[in-house]
Structure 1
Amino acid sequence: MMGPRRVTLAMTGASGAQYGLRLLDCLVQEDREVHFLISKAAQLVLATETDVLLPPKPQAMQQFLTEYTGAAAGQVRVYGKEDWMSSVASGSGAPSAMVVVPCSTGTLSAIATGACNSLIERAADVVLKERRQLVIVPREAPYSSIHLENMLKLSNMGAVILPASPGFYHQPQSIEDLVDFVVARILNILQIPQDMLPRWGEHHQADWNE
């Protein structure tokens, strides 16, 4: 199996809830175990930007997402904001990779300063201290100097900063195509197989061989 077997996926209160939902679906389809975290602000954004209404309680949310993605029992695990006994809160049990998508600038700041005031912040702190893979997907425009300084700080710590900036060289025909572009880039970073977006040069090579 290429890439991590277990992935922590956190959604926070920036625009771009579709990215998080699509990544969750892709991870499930690639048979990964997903530890799912979502802030209250992200739940509000999700309800605003999509027709998905998540139950407020972690257990009910876990059941909902399991059915929504067609996951196997136990494949998607949902934790509450202060579930400090969860595996993602400790380096001895946390997954080897974490993606925060979308990442609000508030969460970006908290992770960069090691605030650990919520399980999302603590899980990211664990990934950094254990030298594991952290992918941050900020969605803001324009960026202030504070945002850029926090991104640089996290990049220097080893995190990957992957802004939600869709490309157009694949000639997208729908919003879903734009979402898939960003999600495919995340999966590439995680080294998890995806067929949504050819790597640069592959489609040119195919045309040349015809």
Structure 2
Amino acid sequence: MSAGSPWVIGLTGASGAVYGVRLIRFMLETGRSVHLIITDAGWRVLKEELGWDVSRRVEALRAELGEPERGWTYHPNGDIGAATASGSFRTAGMVIVPCSMGTLSGIARGASDNLLERTADVMLKEGRPLIVVPRETPLHAIHLENMLALSRMGVRIIPAMPAFYQGPQTVSDMVDFIVGKVLDNMGLDHQLYRRWGMPDE
């Protein structure tokens, strides 16, 4: 797979849209291309948590991310025939951030009921990296069993659990810690947080 293959980033209806947006912005700022899939509930969270005007979705992305020429491509979640639904479309992998328990369940049972779930299924069948960032608490047995099932298939599970050893001073610092952990698992360099053992600047 070429180094220039795009990553797919999915946002769902779990709380924590800020994580997904921060990841997308980092990718664009560092010259990487991304394909975006956002569920209906994900759009609602963007409105409720970040104040986005989502009445016209592509225009909302332009307002927040700049023009598509910056490197982003948007696919409606209902477009099951979009490029990312096929294994022949070359991608580096997929990150779902935040990942709702409903989406996690659909992926674990191979539902492929929408483009996001189908794209995740493509990652599994093609052996490409799939990273999910669940954001729910408390967790019950079904949540845990679904996460275990995905983990056994090689999916990286990165719960939105910020650490504090790096001395966060703001909410943005805590967001950057989680996004940094995601980037670590994507194999991408970053300096979003101070690593354990690194000296203070």
TM-score, normalised by the number of residues in structure 2: 0.92
Equivalent pairs counted in the alignment come to 200
Show the counterpart of 2:81.
85
Q: After the TM superposition, which residues 19-168 of structure 1 pair with which residues of structure 2 at under 5 Å, given as runs? A: 19-57=19-57, 61=58, 64-70=60-66, 73=69, 75-168=71-164
When the two chains are superposed, the root-mean-square deviation of aligned CA atoms in Å is 1.9
Within 2, Cα distance between the matches of 1:163 and 1:4? 27
68-77 or 82-91, larger mean C-alpha shift: 68-77
Work out the CA distance in 1 between the residues paired with 2:151 and 2:175: 23
1:51-106 superposed Cα distances (whole Å, 9 cap, x missing partner): 2223444xxx1x54345234661610001122123221000004121000000000
Please state if 1:199 is matched with 2:195: yes
Task: Write out per-residue CA displacement over residues 110-159 of structure 1, whole angstroms, 9 at most, x where no aligned residue.
Answer: 00000000000000000001000000100000111101110010011010
Q: CA–CA distance in 2 between the matches of 1:30 and 1:191?
A: 14
Query: Which region of structure 1 is more displaced relative to structure 2, 191-200 or 16-25?
Result: 191-200
Q: Structure 2: which 5+ runs fail to align? A: none
Work out the CA distance in 2 between the residues paired with 1:173 and 1:39: 32
Distance between the aligned counterparts of 2:99 and 2:23, measured in 1? Answer: 14
Post-superposition shift, 1:46? 1.4
* 1:50 partner amino acid: L
Rounded to whole Å, the distance in 2 between the matches of 1:35 and 1:102 is: 16
Query: Secondary structure at 1:200's aligned position in 2?
Result: coil
The one-letter code of the counterpart of 1:51 is G
- The sequence identity of aligned pairs, in percent, is 41
Gaps of 5+ in 1: none
Aligned to 1:7: 7
For the Cα contact (< 8 Å) 2:101–2:134, is it kept in 1? yes
Distance 1:13 1:99, change over 3 A: same
Partners of 2:189 and 2:67 in 1: CA distance: 18
With the length of structure 1 as denominator, give the TM-score of the two structures. 0.89
